[in-house]
A and B are shown apart, each in its own frame.
Chain A
Amino acid sequence: MEGRIKAHPILEFRRGKRVKFYFEDREIEAYEGETVAAALQANGIRVLRYTPNTKRPAGLFCAIGKCSSCLMKIDGVPNVRSCMTKVREGMHVRRQNGRGDVL
């Protein structure tokens, strides 16, 4: 059940072109038009970062760009809201550790 919904009694999902991107160097399949967070979720990946002070795992909470729980390092840029960022072919996504300062 976890993953992509195949049949739905009400909705038809118009999925975009297939794209590939990298999460922690692992190849992830996604569809154009999806957010990074949605694509990771569809692949069973929930932990998106570790918090700065207590190093606790954190994931999605609002999925609409309001809570900053989903900050990730995307193509080298830290503090990007993965729930508001669309997947792009070949992009590199990493879990953010701590504040995500570029060292």
Chain B
Amino acid sequence: MKSYETIVVGGGPAGMMAAITLGSKGVKTLILDENDELGGQLVKQTHKFFGDHAHYASVRGFEIAQKLQEKIFQDTNIEVETSATVIGIYPNKMVVYAKNGKEFKATYEKLLISTGAMEKQLPFINSDLPGVYGAGAVQTLMNEYGVMPGRRFLIIGSGNIGLILAYQLIQAGAEVRGIVEALGKIGGYAVHAKKIKRLGVPIFLKHTIVRAIGNESVLGAVIAKVDNNFNIIPGTEVEKVADTICVSVGLTPLSELAEQAGCKVEYIPQLGGYVPVRNERMQTSNPDVFIAGDLSSIEEATTAMIEGKIAALEMSRNFIKIAANKKNIENEINDEIKTLALFRSGPKSAKIRTGLEKFGINIKHVPKIESYGVQIGPTGKLRAIVDCTEEIPCNSCEAACSFGAIHIGENLNSTPVVDYDKCTGCATCVTACPGLAIHMLKEDLENSTALVGIPYELLPLPEKGQKMWALDEDGNYVCDSIVKRVVKYPNKTNIVYIEVPIEFSRKVLSVSFPKKESPFVCRCEEITLDKIERVVDSGITDFEELKRLTRVTMGPCGGKNCKLVVLGILSRKTGVPISKLSHGTSRPPVKPVEFSLFMKGSDPT
């Protein structure tokens, strides 16, 4: 049996950062992980992470894992055991783990448990059918093994994991039929949601899955609307064709080992379920046992890393004899606690703050700078348009801009503000932004065109001169466009610059290869581009006439989405600029209203 000063159980970002910190303080450490590679959740993540530049923001998840691994393998104070499943922790400070079918024992003076979390399940009819997977399982298959477990996916849950999974599936070439969300709003970050909406993935809010369809394997699903108490509203059921259903309704901490280690556990729903009770320095009710990461509260890799560091610093105090060094460590701990508080000061951390208050940990709000919403900047100049108005803990764009044109400030939950006098149009921020929330824009007033530079992470990459469809925020067809330039970047977020008519300069946010089927111009009335072009070709060039004949723009959206698009087609066909075309009169109501509102007067009840 081997003895160590500290043992770290679980080698995700929390455990890895803890081991690195312990090693750097000269503490003899063993890190154990069940997988054959260290990294935890990070290894499966292909997207760039949010957060702070000091904590690998804007670096892709699997690359963060590689960087941390390198540090661990360089440090002789750290011993690594992978493919090692910890099966027990005993009161005599002993960890028992299984590796290659054999049992091993090791003792510690201080222990860190960072076993992360497991996915919650969702009960519905046939939820046990093969083809219903946890979101993490799909990520493991797809991103670790390069195996695509299906063709058409339906995702349940619109938290960050569900949103990111949808994006990753599309990147790997699958089709995402939609995301089903029981709440009235999207759970994850707005920037993640926008990323997939632009690719045309619908999000069904206030909906739930009723059942999976199939005998031996999933063939589809029935989804239905829910009321405010999450009860299914009868009669609203619809069938969706999908061969794979991914459940991503949240994670719950893996607290069994902590319990075995004698840590008091409490049920705190805001933190994810049963979590070990701990103090601000990650020490549990057993003074020799510490926790960090998703085990202590379901959050992010960044917070997991900081918690791992805080725990490790506190643990290392035990092994340091020189008073001056002890003092330094005390300062380091306080700095990390401050950084963590900054992270958690935004609106997206409200739940975590409430949960932590139950342990007596209070997080103060830090003053933020004022948000200007989406700034348009000076027309005609090549510049960055930053569409990031939700307060999330991220400052990648500020750090990426070497001209100091983007300001976020001390609290990284503040939203970015652009100084257009300083913006040179270099586009570095576009490729750095993990939310793909920044694009480039330059209007050409003389030629009535606009150049739009869109971040692009799909295959194949469009080529210069190619004709593409320009799409709006919901992935709807806006107009045809020509690729003017494609810039490749080492981080694989490339930028595709397309030219569109100037009228669409603010509408176009996405680009796709033209599909075989004609795109819908008016989704409400289901009218395709093809149909409108045929009507125009038959000699109808008057907008009102076109409306009467096709019903285009007359659906429930009141033409909000398609009027300009139709005018664009008319302009392209007739050569008359859009500004010169009569564009019809808007009729009330301006916003869609439930039909029942008009029926109120004749309501029979």
Contact = CB atoms under 8 A, between A and B. Distances in A.
Q: Do A and B bind each other?
A: yes
Interface of A: 1-5, 7-11, 13, 15, 34-35, 38-39, 41-42, 46-48, 51, 56-67, 69, 83
A7 to B, nearest CB: 5
Given A41-B147, A66-B118, A10 B140 contact: no
Contacts of A1: 148, 150-151, 173-175
Interface in B119-175: 119, 121, 128-134, 136-138, 140-143, 145-151, 171-175
B119 A62 contact: yes
In the A-B complex, list the 6 residue pairs whose CB atoms are closest, starting with the nearest: A59-B130, A63-B137, A13-B146, A46-B130, A38-B145, A63-B140
Central interface residue in A9, A57, A61, A62, by most chain B CB within 10 Å: A9
Contacts, number: 113
Central interface residue in B132, B134, B147, by most chain A CB within 10 Å: B147
A6 B149 CA distance: 14
B340 to A, nearest CB: 27
Contacts of B130: 46-48, 57-60
A57 B134 contact: no
B151 A35 contact: no
A41 B141 contact: yes
A3 B457 contact: no
A76 B231 CA distance: 46
A9 B171 contact: yes
A50 B524 CA distance: 45
A72 B444 CA distance: 64
A57 B137 CA distance: 18
Given A47-B216, A47-B217, A11 B140 contact: no
Contact of A11 (B35, B143, B174): B143
A13 B134 CA distance: 22
Contact of A5 (B85, B129, B132, B148): B148
Given A60-B137, A64-B136, A46 B147 contact: no
A63 B148 contact: no
B459 interface: yes
Contact of A60 (B35, B60, B119, B133): B133
Nearest to B457: A9
A46 B131 contact: yes
Contact of A63 (B131, B133, B150): B133
Contacts of B151: 1-2
Contacts of A3: 147-148
Nearest to A12: B146
A63 B216 contact: no
Contacts of A13: 145-146
26 contacts: A1-B151, A2-B243, A4-B147, A5-B142, A5-B172, A8-B171, A11-B146, A13-B146, A15-B146, A35-B145, A38-B145, A42-B147, A47-B130, A56-B128, A57-B130, A57-B217, A59-B130, A60-B130, A60-B133, A60-B137, A61-B132, A63-B141, A64-B35, A64-B118, A64-B136, A64-B137
Given A5-B173, A46-B217, A47-B216, A61 B134 contact: yes
Nearest to B172: A5
Given A57-B216, A63-B137, A65-B34, A5 B147 contact: yes
A35 to B, nearest CB: 7
B146 A58 contact: no
A15 B146 CA distance: 9
A61 B146 contact: no
B492 interface: yes
A63 B137 CA distance: 5
Contact of A61 (B133, B148, B150): B133
B458 interface: yes
A69 B141 CA distance: 16
Contact of A41 (B35, B46, B149, B492): B149
A57 B129 contact: yes
Nearest to B60: A10
A66 B143 CA distance: 19
Contacts of B60: 10
A57 B131 CA distance: 11
A102 to B, nearest CB: 18
